[in-house]
Structures are given as structure tokens and as C-alpha cells.
Structure 1
Amino acid sequence: MDGTARIALSAAATELLRLLREQHGPLMFHQSGGCCDGSAPMCYPAGEFRTGSSDVLLARLDVEGVPEPVDFWMSADQFERWQHTHLTVDVVPGRGSGFSLEAPEGVRFLIRSRLFTEEERAGLGG
């Protein structure tokens, strides 16, 4: 695919996704925009979180060692605020939401962001 990727994975996130895939099957992310844990990306078994017209599919992430893409969804209002940023899914020690699959592992996913460069913005199209 040509163009700018909106989302990347850190090495730690890639490793954790491989582990979670082995344990739970196909995966997906959703990031709402709520406060506290709601502002962190939540990892679910694919299809367990019901997405709708108020959600945007940002990427179908290819994860080395995972046979199918991991869809990354974000609420539309959150995307409105973050549409000019490149996001990196990372992992840090600590307890995240009890609803996200990584919680029992003693770590949590988080988003690191930076503004797109002019060249990257041009590559987004639209």
C-alpha cells in the first residue's frame, strides 16, 4: 500500500500481540476517547467489541507472527482530534483496564503520538 501509515507497533507491542493471539485467537483494538483507561487502546478478541458508524477503521495492522491483520478502530470523535498524528502502539508495565486482554500480563498498551510531517500528510491523501 502506498501512502502514509497512521499506526505503527513497537517491538514490545508486536511481541505481546503474538502472545495474545496464541491465547485468544484473532485480535482487534479499539480506542474510544474516554477518560483514564478509555483513552488507551483496548485489545479484544476480534469481533468481541461491537463497532458502528461512530467508529473509524484506522488500520489493518500486519503483525509478524500473527496470521491475520489486527484491525485498529477509533471512535470518530477521538479520530477528529488525532487525525493529524502518527500513532505508535507500545507496551509499558502496569495494570490497564480489566477489559483489555493484556491486563493479566501485568502490562498495558498505550499510544505514543507525534504530528505527521508535511510529507506524511501529503501521503495520506484525501
Structure 2
Amino acid sequence: MDAPPRVELTPAAADLVRRLREAHGPLMFHQSGGCCDGSAPMCYPDGEFRTGASDVLLAELRVDGVDEPVGFWMSRNQYEVWSHTRLIVDVVPGRGSGFSLEAPEGVRFLIRSRVVGAEPPSGR
């Protein structure tokens, strides 16, 4: 049985990724885990955000109509906290960070999450 993906896109987020890809070329996401806008996934042209040893590549997202995968990176410290979750990238109305590519669109990416691998209570 295949494990559920660590990161996935809602249909609305996939549509936005397609539009951003058409306008900006290959893309990547980075989730830093900071406060305010830093807690939202940021979308950049691929390679514009420099990743390093303090980052983990969680997924290479495949989007219909986009030739190359979209990498989803997270800071290692954030990953340690969220390692038990499946991340769902969604898009909602509102203005996010000026650094993320969707900011001029009047929407922002948002993470929703589901716990994975949770053990049922033992009854004790």
C-alpha cells in the first residue's frame, strides 16, 4: 500500500500554480515556519529562494499541464514539528506576503494539515 503524499495541492492551488508557472516559469515552494507571513507557504521562481542544509525537500509536486515538478521545501526545524502531518496547499482570498508570487493576484497560499500515522488509543 502506498503511503499518502506528504504534500498535496487542492484543485484551486493547482490552478493557481498553472497560472503562475505560465507567467514566471518553473516554481518552488518554501515553508519557513516563522511568524505571520513566514508561516504560509511562499511560492518563488525555482531557485530564487536559496535552500541549504537547514531545509528539507518534502515533495516534488506534479501538476497537470506543468512540465516540471514543483519542489516543496520546509525548514528542518519546522519539519521536526510537522513530521507527523500531511500538508495540503490551498489558496484563499486575501493578500499574503509581497515576496510570494501569488501576492498580486489578491489570493494567498495557505497550509491545511492532517495528522498521519496516528496510533489509535490503547484503551489503557
Same fold (TM over 0.5): yes
Q: Structure 1 CA distance, aligned partners of 2:50 and 2:8?
A: 23
Per the TM alignment, residue 37 of structure 1 is displaced from its structure 2 partner at its CA by: 0.2
- C-alpha distance after superposition, 1:17-75 (max 9, x if no partner): 00000000000000001000000000000000000000000000001111100000000
Partners of 1:83 and 1:4 lie apart in 2 by 13
Q: Residue 36 of structure 2 aligns with which residue?
A: 36
Structure 2 unaligned segments of length 5 or more: list them.
120-124
Q: Which runs of 5+ in 1 are unaligned?
A: 120-126
In structure 2, C-alpha distance between the alignment counterparts of 1:117 and 1:79, rounded to whole Å: 15
Shift of 1:5: 1.1
SS in 2 for 1:49: coil
Q: Partner amino acid for 1:31?
A: Q
Give the secondary structure class of the aligned counterpart of 1:81: helix
Q: Structure 2 CA distance, aligned partners of 1:72 and 1:97?
A: 17
Aligned to 1:109: 109
Q: Indicate the percent of aligned positions where both proteins have the same amino acid.
A: 75
Task: Tell me the matched-pair count.
Answer: 118
Highest CA radius of gyration, 1 or 2?
2
Q: Deviations over 1:59-99 (max 9, x none)?
A: 00001111100000000000000000011000000000000
1:68 pairs with 2:68: yes
User: Which runs of structure 1 show a deviation greater than 4 angstroms over 4 or more consecutive aligned residues?
Assistant: none
Q: Shift of residue 118 of structure 1?
A: 4.7
> Normalised by the size of structure 2, how large is the TM-score?
0.92
Normalized per residue, the structure richer in helix is 1
